[in-house]
Amino acid sequence: MPVLTGKELRIVGFLCNWCSYGGADTAGVGRFTQPTDLRIIRVPCSGRIDPLFIAKTLLNGADGVLVSGCHPRDCHYAEGNFYARRRLEVLKRFLPILGIDPGRFDYTWVSASEGQRWQKVVTVFTEQIHALGPAPRYDGVSAEMLAKAAGALGQGGNRVAA
């Protein structure tokens, strides 16, 4: 049962293994009250999240997507969160072109010791998604549309440069 009243929505969270996943775990161990709408996908680093993952998640029925990683200058892979921030800012501006409300997506930084901060972030984001309501369904999203989105999001430049 969701903590917030009403229907449970589908919210997906992409969390960095080293910091944000630890922060979510700290919140759980501390028994902080959290909404149950969020489904977590643990990734090695927020810098490895392809913006197309987020676009596909939203186009395929998720009501919201939250990305959380290490604080800037605290990434276990040195610069991953800087790459993530750059890509995610571009994505946020691109979502309206796909017909997706940019309020359905957010990203943040939470360290492993910030259980209370994690609780606040996930609660505020979940309330925001509940205020927007269920996402419209995009039936028949073609492979061609996703290919165009991939090209617009710069698939070629998505790899971490040396």
Domains of the chain: 11-154 (3.40.50)
- C-alpha to C-alpha distance for 141 and 144, rounded to whole angstroms: 8
- The reported pTM is 0.85
Q: What is the pLDDT of residues 114-126, one digit of tens each?
A: 999 999 999 999 9
Angle, nearest 10°, between helix axes 80-98 and 51-59? 40
> Mean pLDDT throughout 70-99?
93
Residue pointed to by tokens 């921030």: 85
Tell which residue, 45, 48, 53, has the closest CA to residue 20.
Answer: 45
Please tell me the least confidently modeled range out of 18-27, 44-53, 81-90, 132-141. 132-141
Nearest-Å Rg of the Cα atoms of the chain is: 16
What does the alpha-carbon distance between residue 35 and residue 63 come to, in Å, rounded to a whole number?
14
Locate 124 and state its tokens. Answer: 């505020």
Tell which wins on pLDDT, 6 or 75: 75
Strand (E) or helix (H) holding 146: helix 143-152
Mean pLDDT to the nearest integer, 132-149: 77
User: How sure is the predictor about 160, in pLDDT bands with cuts at 50, 70 and 90?
Assistant: very low
Per-residue pLDDT band at 75 (split at 50, 70, 90):
very high
